[in-house]
Amino acid sequence: MKRVVRIVALIVGGLVLLCSVAGALSALSNRNLPTGPQVLERLDPLDKARLAETLHLKQMLGEAVWPGWGQADVPIILWNHAYSFLVGYADPPTGWEAVPDDTFDGQPYHRQPSADPQNFAVPVGERWAASMATKWETDAFLMEMFREALPPVLEAAFPYRLVIQPSEVQMSGVLHETFHAYQAQVAPERLDEAEQAHSRGEAYWTADAQMHAEWQQEIALLAQALEAESDQDAAALAHQFLARREQRRAAHHLDATLTDYERLLEWEEGIAKYVELAIWRGAHTTQAYEPLATMAGDPDFKGYATFDQRWSQEIGQMGRQATREGETRLYYSGMAQAMLLDRLLPEWKRRIMAQDAWLETLLAEAVRFE
């Protein structure tokens, strides 16, 4: 018995030592965390490199992901907490000033003080621009969230480098927002309808508290369909998903406004999420695609090689959304349906911008669900 106790004590002592060493190494690593750009009044060279690669990616592979979007002219706003920078808008409206003594890709770009900036498509004059935080601004926000949530004894040793995302996350996020601007160009009434639907959120998420079990089943079927080996299996699982969805809505007496809340947000955000992931996958799988040489100087750029890992993380996140309140769930359910439509109804993209088209109705057509 004493021998067992000694062995257990040695194991526990070893684990404590390992944790202490890991904590010490993490604390040392935290001392060398990136500090962000020293100058906020203009775009940092790394921000410029990432933005140039984002535009290059859209130009080279965008049409394969979504015909029309790849070549669409969409200005881009990158913002930090001090300034918002507008690129690709030669003569912006009053309030934007040319950044002095600086250019992007050889052309002037503009700025204004940041005032409640957001990640979405925003109107600038008579045009729509894609708006997104700089990578550093996002990384700093995430690290601060953990600092505020952790007790002091853990805060110093927390491995903050794990919070720092690959540059591909920020760049594909910018392209997500450019797709919203594209939606505003080609389907403005539909986008406006989707924006108005957000006001139904309180009523929807009150009803949702009783729907978690059914949503778990729906999302599980979508995940299985995405991983199905054959088109036939994918179609069968999609058919089951649609049946479960219909049953859930009937069982919980969802009226047309709440049903359309799901459909509209899946159209608005789910398709943009699809574009975000599809363009990253395209860069990963297209052997002829070459990132710009300037990306070699970005320590957080992985050459799109981590897409499979990212995809696995996204599928896991989709599953976790089933019981969480918030619109993010509909980003994922819409994205999954769009991915399935690529497989089961290839012409779906030329139809989905119509006023009466939904992802789920096109999927039902693909799998002959009635």
Is the pLDDT reported for residue 282 higher than 90?
Answer: yes
**Average pLDDT of the segment spanning 217-229:** 98
At 86-133, the pLDDT tens digits run: 999 999 999 999 999 999 999 999 999 999 999 999 999 999 999 999
pLDDT tens digits, 292-325: 999 999 999 999 999 999 999 999 999 999 999 9
What does the pLDDT average to over 61-78?
Answer: 98
**Confidence band of 6 (pLDDT split at 50, 70, 90):** very low
Examine the pLDDT at 259 and tell me if it is beyond 80. Answer: yes
Beta strand pairing call for 127-133 and 76-79: parallel
What pLDDT sits at residue 153?
Answer: 65
- Cα four-point dihedral sign 303, 308, 309, 311: positive
Above 70 in pLDDT, residue 8? no
Rounded to an integer, the average pLDDT of 27-33 is 50
SS3 assignment for the chain? CHHHHHHHHHHHHHHHHHHHHHHHHHHHHHHCCCCCCCCCCCCCHHHHHHHHHHHHHHHHHHHHHCCCCCCCCCCEEEECCCEEEEECCCCCCCCCEECCCCCECCECCEEEECCCCCCEEEEECCEEEEEEECHHHHHHHHHHHHHHHCCHHHHCCCCHHHCCCCHHHHHHHHHHHHHHHHHHHHCHHHHHHHHHHHHHHHHHHHHHCCCHHHHHHHHHHHHHHHCCCCHHHHHHHHHHHHHHHHHHHHHCCCCHHHHHHHHHHHHHHHHHHHHHHHHHHHHHHCCCCCCCHHHHHCCCCCCCCCHHHHHHHHHHHHHHHHHCCCCHHHHHHHHHHHHHHHHHCHHHHHCCCCCCCCHHHHHHHHHCCC
Q: Residue 147: which of 30, 38, 37 has the closest Cα? A: 30
Write down the pLDDT at residue 159: 76
Burial label for 124, CB within 10 Å (0-12, 13-18, 19+), is buried
Residue 196 has pLDDT above 50, yes or no: yes
131-159 tens-digit pLDDT? 999 999 999 888 888 778 788 767 666 77
Q: Mean pLDDT for the chain?
A: 91
- Supply the pTM of this predicted model: 0.90
Which has the closest alpha carbon to 234: 333, 319, 342, 324? 342
CB proximity list for 109: less than 8 A, separation 6 or greater: 43, 85, 86, 87, 88, 98, 99, 102, 103
Confidence of residue 3 (pLDDT cuts 50, 70, 90): very low
Q: What per-residue confidence (pLDDT) applies to 157?
A: 65
Task: Tell me the C-alpha distance between 357 and 263, whole Å.
Answer: 10
pLDDT at 19 over 70: no
